[in-house]
Amino acid sequence: MSSTEEKTYDVVVLGAGSTGENVADVVVRGGLSAVLVEEHLVGGECSYYACMPSKALLRGTEAIAEARAVKGAAAAVTGEQDVAATLERRDAITHGWDDAGQVSWVEGAGIDLVRGSARLDGERTVVVTRPDGGTARLTARHAVAVCTGSEAAVPPVEGLPDVQPWTPREATSAKEAPRRLLVVGGGYVGCEMSFAWHALGSQVTLLQRGERLLTGAEPQAGEAVLASLRDRGVDVRLGADVRAARREDDEVVLTTAEGELRGDEVLVAVGRRARTTDVGVDTVGLEPGRYLDVDDTLQVRGLPWMYGVGDVNGRRLLTHMGKYQARQAGAAIVARARGEEVAVEDWSPHTATADRAATPAVVFTDPQVASVGLTSAQARESGRPHRVVEYPIGSVAGATIFADGYEGTAIAVVDTEREVLLGLTFVGPAVAELLQAATIAVVGEVPIARLWHAVPAYPTVSEIWLRLLEAWRG
Ligand SMILES: Cc1cc2nc3c(=O)[nH]c(=O)nc-3n(C[C@H](O)[C@H](O)[C@H](O)COP(=O)(O)OP(=O)(O)OC[C@H]3O[C@@H](n4cnc5c(N)ncnc54)[C@H](O)[C@@H]3O)c2cc1C
Ligand SMILES: NC(=O)c1ccc[n+]([C@@H]2O[C@H](COP(=O)([O-])OP(=O)(O)OC[C@H]3O[C@@H](n4cnc5c(N)ncnc54)[C@H](O)[C@@H]3O)[C@@H](O)[C@H]2O)c1
């Protein structure tokens, strides 16, 4: 495309993260033309600075812990983790931050790609400033899908921006472990990165503002993760109030209510904010910097040609949910382009109902926390009649085989009126793989009476399902 070229597509997608790629793929499969505009790496945060590198940093430690938890196998673990090799494996998993593989997938999928920074310029129009300074003007016949994601939020702490804190990007791509790492925020990123860098050699201090870690999860999850972090030597301070930050030579100094803390780096992991500041949303009457307000077909309210998909709408900041929304939004865009009816009811092919009712998530700490649907607190707030059932996972035969001294807990929230599951949380080693069965039970609203026929194979950890049913029956 020459620097002045103007081009029209059926669909223009801003941002080629995991969400944008999927929107483009679905609409092209539906017979529409699509272009993706990307200013950094095709594949987005997940591939290069989030899910993939963070899990790569954690996996070695997890594999060692699994072997150490089995008498006999433990004897084979005679050394320490090879930190350099773990970082090399992380680098291989991120393809050295080179997106050539994803670019070739985009080409193979029949999607056009334009490199550069995209801004809306009124209805259905996007202006791209390319790396060479040239511009391109793209017009959408049917839809503009804004999939520009989110970025790290920085709390209003005096001096914090000046100390150049690590964001999750630096925490997932660092080339070596800092000797002392201060972590502000005890949510997903703060907990996962505290485990990772502690195991890779850093002395970690984790500062969480509230009285619990992982505040959105069942309290048992935060308690188990807290105990495990402290047990392995991470200094976790709850109720921490970071008031100021400064650099002194090579040190970062944080001032808290309890005094000063010193580190070599500070990771700020206090949540995200929408990447809508420089996307030209003001040219279509929206306020920059806010999450896009969308309906269940991911259409921006009041702007029927515009969709906000993935992190940028703030509904569920998870890769798999962004991709799910992309499938639903893509199907809605195709249907509307064909003049077909779009089904707006729950669980239709065009709506992202699971965002509200059945979002699965895993925190990859040790223990892992795997959850779907409502927690007990959310069930309480919803006012639905429900009962909470809890059972220790360590007492099922499969867990005894899996690891000596397995500790974990399963919590089921049951709708007492309809006798279906509203939500499940598993806390324990390797519980991530229990989650899809739970997601199917919640999404399918499988009656408890039928779940008795879903017999878990013996001796697997899935036997926890049977124990939960027995606990429910009493
Ligand atoms: C440390 C960390 C670990 C995580 N781990 C997990 C995990 O294990 N599992 C999970 O499900 N989720 C995880 N997440 C969340 C996950 O990374 C996000 O939910 C996901 O990446 C969102 O995808 P997206 O495509 O919506 O946005 P992004 O991946 O942010 O993609 C947006 C794209 O838009 C581009 N862009 C932005 N503005 C413009 C513009 N103006 N012009 C052109 N291009 C633009 C960006 O460069 C980017 O490539 C993690 C997040 C973090 C921070
Ligand atoms: N495994 C995964 O799926 C995974 C991993 C990482 C991130 N994510 C996604 O990314 C999102 C962002 O993660 P995150 O950890 O940045 O946010 P988060 O919302 O999970 O946690 C932020 C935490 O920071 C605390 N906090 C806020 N302000 C603070 C302050 N000034 N001082 C100290 N603590 C403060 C909050 O109480 C909260 O517990 C997550 O919500 C999740 O959706 C997912």
Q: Is CATH 3.30.390.30 the right assignment for the domain spanning 367-473?
A: yes
pLDDT tens by residue, 326-367 = 999 999 999 999 999 999 999 999 999 999 989 999 999 999
Looking from the CA of residue 320, the nearest atom of ligand 1 is 11
- For the chain, give every domain's residue range: 6-43+99-151+273-354, 161-270, 367-473
Task: Please say if the pLDDT value at position 87 is more than 90.
Answer: yes
User: What is the Å distance from ligand 1's center to 326 Cα?
Assistant: 13
Which token pair is 36? 């993706």
Which residue is closest in CA terms to ligand 2's atom 32? 209
Same fold, 161-270 and 367-473: no
Q: Which ligand is nearest to the CA of 151?
A: 1
Cα–ligand 2 centroid distance for 97 (angstroms)? 24
CA angle 340, 343, 344 (to 5 degrees): 135
Average pLDDT over every residue of 192-197: 98
Chain length of the chain: 474
Tokens of 263: 């580190």
- Domain covering 6-43+99-151+273-354, topology: FAD/NAD(P)-binding domain (3.50.50)
Residue 441 near residue 421, CB atoms below 8 Å: yes
CA–centroid distance, residue 195 to ligand 2 (Å):
15
Quick one: average pLDDT of 236-246? 96
pLDDT band at 5 (very low <50, low <70, confident <90, very high): confident
| Integer Cα distance of 364 and 52 in angstroms | 12
**Cβ–Cβ < 8 Å for 180, 264:** yes
Which pLDDT score, from 0 to 100, does residue 3 have?
Answer: 57
CA of residue 8 to ligand 2 center, whole Å: 39
Residue nearest to atom 27 of ligand 2 (CA): 270
- pLDDT mean over 63-69: 97
Nearest Cα to Cα of residue 361 among 183, 210, 216, 461? 216
Residues with CB under 6 A from ligand 1: 14-20, 37-41, 44-46, 50-51, 54-55, 117-118, 147-149, 168, 172, 189, 275, 278-279, 310-311, 317-320, 322
State the average pLDDT for the chain: 97
Q: Who's near 80: CB < 8 A, 6+ residues apart? A: none
Residues 37, 341: Cα–Cα separation, whole Å: 29
DSSP 261: E
Express each pLDDT in 97-111 by its tens digit: 999 999 999 999 999
ipTM, 2 dp: 0.98
Nearest-angstrom CA–CA distance, 269 and 113: 32
Question: What digits encode the pLDDT tens for the residues 198-216?
Answer: 999 999 999 999 999 999 9
Would you identify the CATH topology of the domain 161-270?
FAD/NAD(P)-binding domain (3.50.50)
Asked if pLDDT for residue 4 goes beyond 80, the answer is no
> Which residue puts its alpha carbon closest to atom 43 of ligand 2?
317
3-state secondary structure of 440: helix
Q: Can you tell me the distance from the alpha carbon of 59 to that of 200, in angstroms, rounded to the nearest whole number?
A: 11
What's the 462 CA to ligand 2 centre distance in angstroms? Answer: 29
- Record the pTM: 0.97
CA of residue 149 to ligand 1 center, whole Å: 5
From 18, 46, 214, the mutation candidate for ligand 1 (largest count of ligand atoms within 8 A of CB) is 46
